[in-house]
C-alpha cells in the first residue's frame, strides 16, 4: 500500500499522531431517552400489534418452527401462525433484559442492554468507495482493510463480520473468508452469517476456535436474523438462529422495513407492524430455547415515492426509531437501531446530514446496539473509506454527548472564576492547563482553522482528510495477538470447509 506523502500543516499533524488510540469504553448514557408517545399511545400500538398476531397471524416458513408453535398451543394453519397474546408475552418475558458480550480480546467485554450503548460497523456492502474516492466492486482486500480499520478505530465495540461482501470470492465460500479475516484482524465480538444452517454452523465453529471457553459464559458472535416484511420469517433465517441459540449465542431479531412499501403508509401503523414482527421472532427464540439472548431489532427507512429508493435521515424514520425504543423498554429487552445511515452516492453534505440525523436519533432514543455506525452510503450498497473514518470520529463525539454533564470538577472550576474575575481570560489559568486536553472534544477530521490556515495546509476537504487518515491507520496497523496454533487451526478449518462445500451452493 502506498505511503501518505509528507505534508505541512494539518496533514502533517494527522500523520504524526499515534495511529491507534485508546478504545472508547461502552457508552453509559446519562440522559433519559426521548419519548415521542405517551403511555396511552404506547398501549394502543402494543394492543394493535397483539391483534395482528392473533387475528392476521404471521408466517413461519419453516417446518420445524411450525411444529414448535403447534406444540405450544398456537393456531397453525399451513404456514400461518396465530399467537395468543398471553402466550406471546409469556415467551417474550423469558428473554434476558441484559446479557454479557465478550470478544477474544480480554478487554472487549460489555453488557448488552440497560443504559449501555455500543457501536458496530456497517454490514454487507457489495461496492466500495476506495482510498482514491472511486466506486468499484468490493474485494477481499477491502474486507481485510475494513476489519483492520475496525480494530484500529477507537469507537467500535463490535466488528461487522460481513462488513462488506468480497465479490471476487465465490458465494459458496465467501462467509469463511469474511469471518476468518475479522477473527484474525480484530479481537472484538462480531456478527456471524446465518443465511443457512451450514453457514451458521461454520461461523459458530470458527468462533469456538478463536474465542474458546469465552463462549460458555458470554456472547462472542451474533446472528443477524432479518425478517421478510410484511409478516414473514423465512426458513433460512430460522435455521441459522437455532444454530446460534444452541451455541448459547445471541440472535438479533430484526424486521426489514421499507416504510410505505412493505408497511402501511402511516407512521403509527408501521410501528405496530414492526413490533408484531420483532416480538414474534423474540417469542420463537424463547420457545425454542428459553433464555436465549436476543436483541429487538428494527431496520427502518422510508422510500421515495418518486424513485422507490430508500431514504435515511427523514423525520418519520426518526419518530419510528424513537417509538421502537419505548416499546423495547416496555418489554424489557435490549434493542438495536441503525446509526450513520446515508443514501447519498458520494461522501458529501447529504451523506453527513443523513448520518448525523440517524446517529443523534439513535442516542436520543436510547438504543443499545448502534448498528451500521460506520461507512454506510448508497442505502448500504456501498462502504466508503472516508466516511468510515468520519463516522468513527462522530461516534466518539456522540459518546461524549451521551455521557452527559459531569460535576466532578465543578467546584475546582468555579474557583477559577473567582481567580480570574471580570475582563480576564482563562487560557493561562492552572485549571485550564491541567484539564484543557479532556475538557472539550477536539476533533481531528473536521477543520476549525481559518480560511488562510486551511488553504496553506493544502485546502483538502473532509473526504480527502479522512482517506489520508485511513491510509495512515492501515500503514501502521498492528494485528491483535493471536496464538499461532489457534490461527493455524482456524486456517485449516477454512481450507477444509472450502473443499467440502459445493461451489454452486447459494
> Structurally, what CATH architecture does the domain formed by 98-402 represent?
Alpha-Beta Barrel (3.20)
Q: What is the DSSP letter of 56?
A: I
pLDDT in tens, 214-251: 999 999 999 999 999 999 999 999 999 999 999 999 99
pLDDT at site 8: 41
DSSP assignments along 420-464, one per residue: H-TT--STTSHHHHHHHHHHS---SSS--S-HHHHHHTT---HHH
Q: pLDDT confidence of 6, banded at 50, 70, 90?
A: very low
Q: What is the value of pTM for the model shown?
A: 0.93
pLDDT at site 1: 34
pLDDT at site 20: 55
Mean pLDDT of 399-422: 95
DSSP assignments along 155-207, one per residue: T-SBB-SSSB--TTS-HHHHHHHHHHHHHHH--S-EEE--SSHHHHHHHHHHH
CA dihedral 21, 24, 25, 31 (to 10 degrees): 160
**Residue where the block lists cell 414473514:** 232
pLDDT at site 9: 45
Cα 447 from Cα 192, distance rounded (Å)? 37
Sheet holding 116-119, edge to edge: 27-28, 116-119, 369-371, 336-338
Mean pLDDT of 144-150: 98
Q: What is the rounded average pLDDT for all residues in the chain?
A: 93
Find residue 233's DSSP bridge partners: 60
Mean pLDDT of 406-434: 95
Q: pLDDT confidence of 261, banded at 50, 70, 90?
A: confident
pLDDT at site 10: 45
CB 332 within 8 A of CB 326: no
Degrees, nearest 5: CA angle 197-199-203: 115
Task: Choose between 306 and 443: higher pLDDT.
Answer: 443
Q: pLDDT confidence of 257, banded at 50, 70, 90?
A: confident
Sheet holding 299-303, edge to edge: 256-259, 299-303, 310-311
Q: pLDDT confidence of 312, banded at 50, 70, 90?
A: confident
pLDDT at site 11: 47
Q: What percent of the chain stands above pLDDT 70?
A: 96
Whether residue 352 is predicted with pLDDT greater than 80 in this model: the reply is yes
285 Rama class: left (phi>0) / alpha (psi -120 to 50) / beta: alpha
Enumerate the domain spans of the chain. Answer: 98-402, 406-434
Find residue 136's DSSP bridge partners: 128
DSSP assignments along 251-290, one per residue: EEEE-EEEETTTS-SSHHHHHHHHHHHHHHHHHHHHHHST
Element (H, E) at 362: helix 349-365
CB 211 within 8 A of CB 220: yes
Amino acid at each position: 500500500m502506498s505511503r501518505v506523502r509528507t505534508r505541512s500543516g494539518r496533514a502533517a499533524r494527522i500523520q504524526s499522531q499515534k495511529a491507534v488510540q485508546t478504545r472508547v469504553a461502552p457508552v453509559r448514557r446519562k440522559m433519559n431517552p426521548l419519548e415521542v408517545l405517551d403511555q396511552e399511545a404506547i398501549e394502543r400500538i402494543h394492543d394493535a400489534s397483539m391483534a395482528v398476531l392473533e387475528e392476521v397471524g404471521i408466517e413461519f416458513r419453516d417446518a420445524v418452527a411450525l411444529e414448535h408453535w403447534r406444540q405450544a398451543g398456537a393456531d397453525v394453519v399451513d404456514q400461518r401462525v396465530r399467537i395468543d397474546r398471553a402466550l406471546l408475552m409469556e415467551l417474550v418475558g423469558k428473554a434476558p433484559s441484559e446479557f454479557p458480550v465478550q470478544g477474544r480480546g480480554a478487554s472487549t467485554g460489555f453488557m448488552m442492554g440497560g443504559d449501555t450503548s455500543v457501536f458496530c460497523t456497517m454490514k454487507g456492502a457489495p461496492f466500495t468507495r476506495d482510498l482514491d474516492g472511486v466506486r468499484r466492486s468490493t474485494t477481499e482486500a477491502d474486507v481485510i482493510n475494513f476489519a483492520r480499520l475496525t480494530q484500529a478505530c477507537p469507537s467500535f465495540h463490535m466488528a461487522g463480520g460481513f462488513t462488506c461482501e468480497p465479490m471476487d470470492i465465490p458465494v459458496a465460500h465467501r462467509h469463511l473468508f469474511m469471518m476468518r479475516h475479522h477473527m484474525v484482524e480484530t479481537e472484538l465480538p462480531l456478527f456471524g452469517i446465518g443465511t443457512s444452517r451450514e453457514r451458521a454452523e461454520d461461523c459458530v465453529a470458527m468462533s469456538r476456535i478463536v474465542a474458546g471457553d469465552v463462549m460458555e459464559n458470554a456472547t462472542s458472535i451474533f446472528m443477524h436474523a432479518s425478517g421478510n416484511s410484511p409478516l414473514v420469517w423465512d426458513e433460512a433465517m430460522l435455521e441459522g438462529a437455532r444454530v446460534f441459540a444452541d451455541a448459547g449465542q445471541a440472535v438479533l431479531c430484526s424486521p426489514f422495513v421499507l416504510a410505505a412499501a412493505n408497511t402501511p403508509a402511516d407512521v403509527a401503523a408501521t410501528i405496530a407492524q414492526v413490533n408484531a414482527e420483532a416480538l414474534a421472532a423474540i417469542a420463537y427464540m424463547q420457545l425454542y430455547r428459553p433464555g436465549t439472548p436476543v436483541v429487538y431489532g428494527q431496520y427502518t427507512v422510508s422510500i421515495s415515492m418518486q424513485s422507490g429508493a430508500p431514504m435515511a435521515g427523514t423525520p418519520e424514520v426518526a419518530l419510528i426509531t424513537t417509538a421502537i425504543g419505548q416499546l423495547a423498554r416496555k418489554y424489557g429487552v435490549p434493542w438495536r437501531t441503525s446509526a450513520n445511515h446515508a443514501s447519498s452516492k458520494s461522501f458529501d453534505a447529504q451523506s453527513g446530514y443523513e448520518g448525523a440525523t440517524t446517529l443523534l436519533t439513535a442516542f436520543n432514543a436510547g438504543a443499545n446496539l448502534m448498528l451500521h455506525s460506520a461507512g454506510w452510503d448508497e442505502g448500504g450498497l456501498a462502504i466508503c473509506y472516508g466516511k468510515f473514518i468520519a463516522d468513527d470520529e462522530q461516534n466518539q463525539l456522540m459518546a461524549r454527548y451521551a455521557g452527559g454533564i459531569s460535576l466532578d470538577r465543578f467546584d475546582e472550576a468555579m474557583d477559577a472564576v473567582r481567580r480570574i474575575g471580570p475582563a480576564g481570560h482563562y487560557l493561562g489559568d492552572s485549571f485550564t492547563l491541567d484539564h484543557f486536553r479532556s475538557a472539550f472534544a477536539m476533533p481531528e477530521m473536521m477543520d476549525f482553522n481559518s480560511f488562510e490556515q486551511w488553504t496553506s495546509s493544502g485546502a483538502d476537504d473532509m473526504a480527502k482528510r479522512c482517506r489520508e487518515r485511513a491510509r495512515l491507520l492501515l500503514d501502521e496497523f498492528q494485528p491483535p495477538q493471536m496464538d499461532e496454533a489457534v490461527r493455524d487451526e482456524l486456517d485449516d478449518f477454512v481450507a477444509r470447509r472450502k473443499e467440502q462445500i459445493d461451489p454452486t451452493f447459494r
